[in-house]
Amino acid sequence: MNVKYFKILLLLLGLSTGHSTLFATHIIGGEILYECLGNEMYEITMKIYRDCATGQACFDSDPNCPFNAGIGSVSIFRGSTLETTAVLDAPIITEIEAKISNPCLRPPANVCVEEGIYKFRVSLATIDVPYTISYQRCCRNRTILNIQSPGAVGGTYTTTITPLAQQACNSSPEFIDFPPIIICNNEDINFDHSAIDIDGDSLVYSLCTPFVGANTVNPAPERAEPPPYDGVTYIGNFSITNPVLAERPGMRIDAATGLITGIPSLLGQYVVGICVEAYKDGELMNVIQRDFQFNVGECVPLVKADVEETELRVQNDQEIFYIRICGLDGTLVNESTERFNIRNQNWGIDFPLGRVQSNEWNFEDITFPGIGTYDGILILNEGFPCNDTALIQIEVLPDLTPDFSFEYDICEIEPVSFTDRSTSAISPAAITDWIWDFGNMDTIFNEQQFNYQYDTSGNFPVSLTVKDINDCEETITQTVSYFPVPEEILLGALEDRGCEPVAVTFTNLSNLLSREYTIDWDFGDGNTGTGLSPTHLYETPGIYDIAVSIISPDGCTTDTLWEELITILQSPVADFSFSPMIVSNFNPTVDFTDQSQNARNLLWDFNDLGTSEELNPSFNFIQSGLNPVLLEVTSDNGCTDTTLQYVEVLPEIRYTLPNAFTPNGDGTNDTFFGKGNIEDATSFQMTVWNRYGESIFETTDPNQGWNGRKNNEGQLAPNGVYVVVVNFTNFRGEAFTQTGYISLVR
C-alpha cells in the first residue's frame, strides 16, 4: 500500500489504556466506520464503548485519565499483511443517556456507558485486495452470561474496505443511534437499530458473532493480529441468533428495518453482535459490525399500582391482591408508587347492587353488605399516560372481637389475674390462638385464664392477639397500672458507722420502687429527704434512727423504721502553731506546738525531710521556699484528722568582694572570686574594668573567677587597682548591684 497521507484527528470514546498494565475490563463494545473523501482519501471513525461504572481503566490517550492512560494505536492491513499503525490522539468522550422504549419506566441508576470517537484520515491506493482496519483490547466484563471466559478474552473492532468499495469510492453505512445501554427485564425491547448510507446502498440487518481479540497476557497490544478473526464462543443455549435469554420467539432483528424486538427474561449482561450489509446493484459493498454489551436490568415503573394485601395471588397470569377482612367494616390501603407521578386514583368494589367507588388515596370506612367474596379494582392515572391497574379480591369473613379482663390488689405485691373474653361471630370454638404480650418483653401463648406476676412496677400496655379458624387476627391493648407497695425498703450495703462528717447513701434494692412513687426519708438528725436512693451528710456525732414512708401512684402507703441504724463518731481536730513564722537559710530552726483537740496520737510529716511523733517537735529546714508541714492526729475511737500549714524559709543572699588577689601561679589566691551564698540568685553577671574603662573580664557563672589575664586567655594584666561590678536578681525578683575595688599584686 502506498500511504500518501496519514493524519490522526482522534475523537474516540471508550478506549482502554493503550500501554497500561491494567486490564481494560471496562470495554463493552465498539465499531469502525469509514468515509471515502475522493482521490483515494478516507476518513476513518472508530467508536469504542466503555463501562464507566467500573472505574478500572481509561480510554487510550485520555489526558484526564487518573491512571496515566497509554497511547493507543489502530492497525491497518493490506490483505493479511500489516501495512502500518495509526497512533491515537486524545479522544472526545460522551456519556450515553440510558434510553428505554417504554416512557413509563425508569432505568436502573447503576448503569454508566461512555462513547469514545477517534477519527483519522489515510490515503489508500486502489488495489485488488481489501484493506482491514483493526483495534484489539482485553478484557470483557467477567459478569457476561452468554460467552465462555468473558473475563479472559477481549474484542476485535474492525472494518474492511473491499476492492469493490475502493473502486466505487463507496462509504460504509453508519448506525443512527447509540446502542441500547439498558434493556428492561420482562419488557418489550423495540429498539431501532437502523443505519444510514450516504451512497444510497440497500441495507440488510442481522445478528452476527462478535470477534475476540487480545488476552490477559497482552491485554493492550500495540498492533492488532491480522485478519481473519475468530468469533466468541457461546455457552449453553446461547448462539448467534439467540444471544439474549428472552421469551419466545426470543430476541430478533428485522432484516429490512433494523428493529430489534423481544422480551428479555433473565437479568444480566450479554455480548451481542449487530451487522449491517450494504449492497449496490445486488453486489456486497461492505459490512459494518457493532459489538456491544447488552445490560438487562430491572427498570422501575414510574407508576405502579399496589395495595396492602393479605396475600398476593396469580390467576390466569394476572396478579390479584387478595385481602382478608374480618367483619363487615374495612379499609383498603393504597401503597402505589411513585406517588408524585400519580395524578388520580379510582377505586371500585362490586357489590350485589352495583359498584361502590372512591377517588381518595385510601378507600376508607367501607361497610360490606355481608359475608362473602368481592371483586375490586384500583386504576391509577385513568385517562393519562403511564397508568396502571391493580385487581383486588376481598374476602369478608365473620367478625372476631378480642377482649380480656384483669384483676389484682393495687396495693399488695400479688399476681395479676387475666381472663380472655374474646368472641367470634362464627362460634366460641372458632378462636384457635391467644398471644399475650405483657408490655415488658414477656409473652405467653394459648392461655385463656391465668395469673401473671410482674417483677417491676410501671404502666404496662398488655396486648392480646387472637386468631380464628379463618386466620382472622385481631389485637386489643389495655394498660395495667401495677404500683404495689413493699412491706419495707430493702437497703444495700451502706456506711452505717463512721467519723464525722459522713455522707451516707441509702441504696434501694427493691425492683418495685421507681420514681413514680413518693418516698420521704427522716434521717434522725432533724433533716429529711426524698427519692429512691438519697445521700445525706451527717455532721454531728450520735446514734440515729432512720424512717421512710412510701406512697404509690395509686395512693397505697407503707412505712419502715430502722432503729439505731447509723452511728457517727466524734472526730479529733488537728491544729498547731509554730515560731518563728518566717525563717532563713541561715537560721532554719522552727519550733512547733500542738493545739489539737480530742487527739491521742500525733504524726508530724515534714514532707520529704522527715517525720516526728513528738508532742511539740523542733525541726531544721534545709530547703528555701514554702515547706509543707502536715499534722495527722488520731482520737481514742480511731477517728483521724489532718491539717496542713507552710513554713517559709527565706533564701538570704550574702555576697562580698575581696579587695586583692595574687595571680602569680603559687597556688594561693591566684583567682579572684566573690564570696557568699547566692544559690537562689538569678541573672548573675560579674565584670572587671581597668582604669581606662576597658572591660577585661566578664562572666555569668558565679563559680567562675578572674585569673588576672584579659578574658582569662590573653596577656597578663599589670599590677594595679581594678573595678569589679556584680549584678544579680534575688529570690524576690529584686535587682542587686555591688561594686568593689581589687588590687592585683604579683
- DSSP labels for 254-300? -TTT-EEE--B-S-EEEEEEEEEEEEETTEEEEEEEEEEEEEEE-PE
What CATH topology corresponds to 497-569?
Immunoglobulin-like (2.60.40)
| pLDDT of 23 strictly over 50 | no
The contacts of residue 64 (CB under 8 Å, 6+ apart) are 58
CA distances from 330 to 319, 323, 396, 614, 721 (A): 22, 10, 9, 95, 123
Return the SS3 of 150. Answer: helix
* Mean local confidence (pLDDT), 668-681: 83
Mean pLDDT to the nearest integer, 377-388: 95
pLDDT average, residue stretch 48-70: 78
Supply the mean pLDDT for the chain. 90
- Residue 166's H or E segment, with its range, is helix 163-168
CATH class as words, domain 400-482? mainly beta
Which pLDDT band, with edges at 50, 70 and 90, does 491 fall under?
confident
Residue with cell 474496505: 161
- Select the more confidently predicted residue: 669 or 109: 669
> Is the distance from CB of 710 to CB of 717 less than 8 angstroms?
yes
What is the number of residues in the chain? 746
Average pLDDT over residues 341-346: 96
Average pLDDT over residues 492-511: 87
Instruction: State yes or no: cis peptide before 249, omega within 30 of 0.
Output: yes
Q: Which of 475, 21, 511 is nearest to 220 (CA)?
A: 21
**pTM as predicted:** 0.55
Residues 6+ apart with CB under 8 A from 588: 620, 621, 622, 649
Residues 6+ apart with CB under 8 A from 328: 367, 368, 369, 370, 371, 396, 399
User: Residue 359 pLDDT > 90, yes or no?
Assistant: yes
Statement: residue 2 has pLDDT above 50: no
What grid cell was written down for 521? 426519708
Residue the block writes with cell 577585661? 696
Of 88, 9, 16, 66, nearest in space to 42 by CA = 9
Give span(s): CATH 2.60.40.10, the chain: 302-397, 400-482, 497-569, 576-650
Residue 403 in this model has a pLDDT that exceeds 90: yes
Q: Are 187 and 263 in contact (CB under 8 A)?
A: yes
Residue type, 2: N
Give the homologous superfamily in CATH for domain 302-397: Immunoglobulins (2.60.40.10)
pLDDT value, residue 18: 33
pLDDT in the model for residue 5: 30
In the chain, what percentage of residues exceed pLDDT 90?
A: 69
Minimal CA–CA distance to 744: which of 625, 633, 660? 660
Using the predicted structure, report yes or no on whether residue 160 has a pLDDT greater than 90.
Answer: yes
CATH entry 2.60.120 includes domain 654-744: no
What is the reported pLDDT for 51? 86
CA dihedral of 52, 54, 57, 61, whole degrees rounded to 10: 0
What local confidence, expressed as pLDDT, does residue 379 receive?
Answer: 98
Confidence of residue 67 (pLDDT cuts 50, 70, 90): low
Taking residues 515-532, report their average pLDDT.
94
**Regarding predicted confidence, which is higher, 234 or 664?**
234
Per-residue pLDDT of 701-724, as tens digits, reads 988 999 999 899 888 889 999 999
Other residues' Cβ atoms within 10 Å of the Cβ of residue 672: 22
Mean pLDDT of 375-404: 96
pLDDT exceeds cutoff 50 at 61: yes
pLDDT at 13: 27
Rounded CA separation 418/452 (Å): 8
Residue-wise pLDDT for 107-146, tens only, equals: 888 888 999 999 999 999 989 999 999 999 988 888 999 9
Residue 691 CB neighbour total at 10 angstroms: 9
Q: Evaluate whether the domain defined by 576-650 bears CATH number 1.10.3720.10.
A: no
